[in-house]
Structure 1
Amino acid sequence: MGAHRSMKPRYAKIVGTGSCLPGQPVTNAELVRRLAERGIETSDSWIVERTGIRQRYLAEAHVGSSQLATEAARAAIAAAGIPAADIDLIIVATSTPDWVFPSTACLVQKAIGAPGGAAFDVQAVCTGFAYAMSVADSMIRTGAANRALVIGAEVFSRILDWSDRGTCVLFGDGAGAVVLAASEEPGIVASKLHADGRHENILRTAGHVSGGAITGHPFLTMDGQAVFKLAVSVLDSVARETVEAAGLTLADIDWLIPHQANVRILHATARKLGLDPDKVVVTVDRHANTSAASVPLALDVAIRDGRIWPGQNVLMEGVGGGFTWGAVLARM
């Protein structure tokens, strides 16, 4: 009989992050002015009090999700210190792709010069980044990939009804990216994903292109109270579930990066989990809600400003239309 060879554990570890925000920030004051020209009344104080948002970035008409994703990807690859050609898996989480097909991931693959590996999009709206990270983690653990580029990229400004004060002030555009690499050291230690399609009506963009025309409703609609109530509940439950799956406790979490939808949801989630508010990374004030891009954008900010460092446990979680929710726990 041949000698038995033990198999070392294989993990997916975050080795680089990057982000991209289009143009210059649009402050609440500037947005209020633009909306006033459309006959829509709001104010900086109204927006800040209800959401915590003070500014956002809005892409120009010629800028698509793939361009933002590409710039974020280049930054993440540079931070990882690897050639783009070494990337053998690209997953883009987006609800606002450039085209029906090919995927945004394929467009990014072409732009960065990394042909040959798998490339595809995932669509779980604001939970998309958690879904994409979980899929990439699984593929790396099984040996189907060695170096993965995971991106959240959105141009939500394209699907906003600018006559609806309740939604148009909430969102922004941007992209965040991470590079995951196979490692013998723990990286992504646990992830949990969920969905409940029975709640599809509370947050959706129920339109489509058919026969060269738009069918259905092409703009985002939201039942704000229903979303708030459900979001706080599932963000609490999936955080606890993921931490338990990792064999840790909430006291072991160094940083919580929730989906950046609304500062009240962020604060309510931290309270329910019993976490110190100082352990919560908050960027909604400067980025607004960038859907699938919000968590990787916040992660990149906190790594680059020195808050997050190697060895720390970072819990990232999302919640969005579908209704979807999920979390990923990473040891940096």
Structure 2
Amino acid sequence: MQGVFITGSGSFLPGAPVDNREMESRIGFLGEHSRKLKALTLRQNGIRQRHYALDAEGNPLFTNAQMAARAVEAACDAARRDPAQLQYLACGTTQADFLVPGIASAVHGELAHTPMEISSHQSVCGSSMMAIKSAWLNVHAGQHRIAAVSGSEFSSRWFQPGFYRAIDFSLMNTQQAMQYEFLRWTLSDGAGALVMEAEPNPQRPSLKIDWIEQKSFADRFPTCMFAGTRDNSPEDAKPWAHYESPGAAYEQGAIVLRQDFDLLDQMFPVWMGYFLEVLDKHQLSPRDIRYFLPHYSARALGERMKTLLTRSAAMIPEERWRNHQQEVGNVGSASIFLLIDRLLREEKLERGDRILCFVPESGRCLASFMSLTAV
């Protein structure tokens, strides 16, 4: 088995940053409740600006795959590699541009350099680590020597008012409406990518991948963040394709994206328990971690994470946390790539620095961890 090193990273954030005052010019309001719930959500998530792949008239500027391809090209440039040298491509996203084929086929088509092996991963935030682990294992096993991996999102197209015309918000209280509104005022667009190789880059700092741990707890939870059904109870979770037509699924509210906050609240102890399990398995002390890159959907949830870690005596000193969600928004599966890219660009890494990445996903409760060492 050979070592695996992150030798390059890249980000692609579409368009100019959109501040909180401009948001409705891109995704609009759903009704009278929207302005109030926008303000409430922004207080919770702490986001000040984000990027959208839609212009002010709602026209798409890019596809999901195009953003991912640009991030891969940026990562290749940082690694001093031509994209034609890639032998393996793994891509993760929440929703690709098409129902069929997978996101990796579309990204490979955008790169259009050379035939290669590909792998598509579809989940929510956790699809990032699924794709990363796929590329890591392929290089680790000696199947390939140079791989690229991306995470990308085009969430804003889901949030156009036309998607919600079948939903009667006038019959809902604030809590019920929030399951739709929170995601609209939190998620944003963009892509990030990494290049992995069997040798470190001799000209710039590289990150050795020590291990990746990922576990699903879907056996304990129904879906929490979901689209493609109008209900997340196991008895009533009828898939959109089981309606008589896509139009019928839309008319009955089975297309829109939503979040079950009661379930989300129940997931935190599970994630933190798994955190402790991973630390124990790898005999890793919080004191050993020089940089902690956690992905969380809102500042309020990050604060809860800190509280639970402190109670468990597993709190990593706060000055070692790195998260820039307030500047770029919650970019889902792209978020951990953006965090790693910023770390490599802005921090003065020293040989031996340990970096711990943490990606929880509320889709149906899973969590991922990745340990990196600067070389």
Taking the TM superposition and a 5 Å limit, the aligned residue runs for 1:1-332 are 10-32=2-24, 35=28, 39=32, 40-42=34-36, 46-60=40-54, 61-160=60-159, 162=161, 164-183=180-199, 187-197=208-218, 198-207=220-229, 208=240, 213-214=246-247, 215=249, 217-230=254-267, 232-271=268-307, 272=309, 273-306=314-347, 308=349, 310-320=351-361, 321-332=363-374
The structure with the largest strand share of the pair is 1
Deviates more, 1:305-314 or 1:147-156: 305-314
- Per-residue deviation, 1:38: 5.0
Q: 1:209 to 1:68 in 2, by over 3 A?
A: farther
Normalising by structure 1, report the TM-score: 0.87
Cα separation, 1, equivalents of 2:371 and 2:16: 32
Aligned alpha-carbon RMSD (Å): 2.6
Does the Cα contact within 8 Å between 1:20 and 1:69 map onto a contact in 2?
yes
- Partner of 2:94, secondary structure, is coil
AA at the equivalent of 2:210: V
CA distance in 2, matches of 1:301, 1:234: 29
Q: Is the 8 A contact 1:317 1:328 kept in 2?
A: yes
| Amino acid in structure 2 at the alignment position of 1:28 | N
The alpha-carbon deviation at position 13 of structure 1 amounts to 0.9
Distance 2:87 2:348 in 1: 30
- Contact 2:28–2:160 under 8 Å retained in 1: no
Aligned partner of 2:323: which letter? V
Q: How far 1:137 sits from its partner (Å)?
A: 1.4
Distance 1:196 1:294, change over 3 A: same
CA separation in 2, counterparts of 1:132 and 1:27? 31
Q: Is the 1:260–1:290 contact (alpha carbons within 8 Å) kept by the matching residues of 2?
A: no
1-structure distance, mates of 2:112, 2:64: 18
Q: Percent identity?
A: 21
Instruction: After superposition, give the CA deviation of every residue in 1:225-268 in whole Å (9 maximum; x if it has no partner).
Output: 421441x3344334333344444322111111122311122233
1:187 and 1:176 mapped to 2: Cα distance?
18
Give a deviation string over 1:6-56, Cα, whole Å, max 9, x none: xxx512111110011111222111125664585422377533321111122
Stretch deviating more after TM superposition (101-110 or 251-260): 101-110
Q: Does the 8 A contact of 1:80 with 1:179 survive in 2?
A: yes
Higher mean C-alpha displacement, 206-215 vs 52-61: 206-215
Change (3 A) 1:29 1:88: same
SS in 1 for 2:62: coil
How far off its partner does 1:186 sit? 7.8
How far the C-alpha of 1:73 sits from its partner, in A, is 0.6
- Unaligned 5+ segments in structure 2 are 55-59, 165-179, 201-205, 230-239
